[in-house]
Amino acid sequence: MADKGTNAVTVLFCLILNLCSAVLIILLNKTLYTLYGCPNITLTFIHFLMTSAGLIICERLNVFQVKILPFRSMLPLALTFCGFVVLTNLSLQSNTVGTYQLIKTMTTPCIIAIQTFAYSRRFSFHVKCTVIPITLGVLMNSYYDIKFNVIGIIFAVSGVMVTSLYQVWVAEKQHEFQVNPMQLLFYQAPLSALLLVPVVPILESPWAHMFSWSFETLALIFLSGLVAFMVNLSSYWILKATSPMTYNMVGHLKFCLTLLGGYVIFQESIQILQVFGIIMTLSGILAYTYFKMEEQKKSHLPHSVVSFSKGNNS
């Protein structure tokens, strides 16, 4: 009985930690970009280094076991990992928090498209229909965003495409090598940091970039890196201790809280039609989650039960 109580408290702690850290990392990074002029790729590089150090500590504490993986298979993952983090951070830097967060939801339709055309995966009619409100909501919000800018949208759309490809590849590699996200990240993070080593001096050389490396800024950067690692660690714990449904519900709450944080902290104005766009997108995401969970439940039923239910629906 005590063990169950302890486990419940641990799960609740992980959920709160993941929720807070996921929202905080976006607001911290936005603050570093807008108020301090922190160079984007340099911040990403620091995050990768801190994540690598954190994973080494976790491995030493037996949080997860390292599994030997082929370097050649990890390189494409590391490249797309770099691309999606850098591009989504550039999107956050160039757009309002609301537009940044909403365009990120286009990852779901993009993943459906990649898996349909590149991997011949089939999706139900209901799942495909959820793409409509998600897309229309994003378009409506972006169109009526008074801070709309073309460069920001290009970064955001590019980020969505690379992120979608990365997520599809991660799922494929996890299945292929029978590894968990932490075991993959153990290779991705240091390799991604290594790939950025020649990029940072060329695009964001410390001696040419007008940026003050004050104690306050360094403290915020360190906090940002620590929070970024906690997002990954708490996500791993949640998926391990709960269910995909719980993780998705926390994700929807993060979506709402991040939008709220952007409007309150950064004084981002919002029009009534943008609110309709946000509601439309959120309804599409919730519908997608519901239909996918229903499909997963059916796939776990005995074959005869699934066949019977299909027979009744036809």
Q: Please say whether the beta carbons of 98 and 65 come within 8 A.
A: no
As a three-state string, the secondary structure of 49-79 is: HHHHHHHHHHHHCCCCCCCCCCHHHHHHHHH
Its pTM stands at 0.83
Residues across the chain: 314
Q: Which amino acid is at 313?
A: N
**Rounded to whole angstroms, how far apart are CA atoms 196 and 201?**
9
> What pLDDT score was predicted for residue 160?
94
> What pLDDT score was predicted for residue 192?
95
Task: Report the pLDDT averaged over residues 203-231.
Answer: 83
Quick: pLDDT tens for 61-85.
998 899 999 988 899 999 999 999 9
Q: Is 233 exposed, middle or buried (0-12, 13-18, 19+ CB in 10 A)?
A: buried
**Rounded to whole angstroms, how far apart are CA atoms 27 and 282?**
20
The yes-or-no verdict on residue 20 having pLDDT over 50 is yes
Structure tokens at 273: 């039609």
Q: Which amino acid is at 288?
A: Y
Quick: pLDDT tens for 188-208.
999 999 999 999 888 886 655
**Rounded to whole angstroms, how far apart are CA atoms 17 and 275?**
28
Q: Please say whether the beta carbons of 220 and 212 come within 8 A.
A: no
> What pLDDT score was predicted for residue 262?
84
